[in-house]
Structure 1
């Protein structure tokens, strides 16, 4: 088993929830649909927070201790860059705390949520294709 297998599995789960939410996004969202969206978004946010904590506690430190300068540089860059996206997602969660806020401004919520998901999807792709292969190749 590669050292990043669990991280990759978490990525699959996070993206799956994002797809489910994306299918429900619309400029007009009923309060009932907004409730389902908010629950799924909360679950996804929890998974992202867990994922980030695991990377911060195990993946990045092990890469930063490596003799491989490429691994160290990648770990430092990815660790530094993730803070902005994590903050944006946290702010998004604080801005949309209820189903009423979502259904009351569904068009704005939809646009902002798609932006967060797009950034997260790009980040996941970069981790899967650039960061994790280097981490997996370390002794």
Structure 2
């Protein structure tokens, strides 16, 4: 299974997180409209990535016939539900300039927690899950 698109999506999401951090460092209240717009744009990237994982990646992993990979894929899929839920709640709460202007420190706190979890998860996928998928014989995966 070719997972280059998944890797590229991770790079795009990481760049979006970095852009959000840059805006927040410049001042949450002062950059509130740009931060809200960045959250909306980033959410589009993340939702697309999650949908493609659900539709293609996890079913291919589950159909691999390799018990260790099937277990790993199930663990990643189950874990992602919590991380995705936390991110979507964060994005829903902080996608308006008014809320950002009213509670900049609360935004910073939540952003640090949620985005750190998302970052750590993508790093684990990049270093554990994706290499395990790539190491399989191509004939074993239905892409």
TM-score range, shorter chain: over 0.9
Cα root mean square deviation, aligned:
1.5
TM-score when scaled to structure 2? 0.90
**Structure 2 Cα separation of the partners of residues 125 and 97 of structure 1:** 25
Aligned 1:1-139 pairs, distance under 5 A: 3-26=2-25, 28-31=27-30, 33-138=31-136, 139=138
Gaps of 5+ in 1: none
Structure 1 residues 16 and 97 mapped into 2: Cα distance closer, same or farther (>3 Å)?
closer
When the two structures are aligned, how many residues end up with a matched partner? 137
TM superposition score normalised by structure 1:
0.92
Displaced runs of 4 or more, over 6 A: none
Task: Indicate the SS of the match to 2:42.
Answer: helix
Q: What are the ranges of 5 or more consecutive residues in structure 2 without an aligned counterpart?
A: 139-143
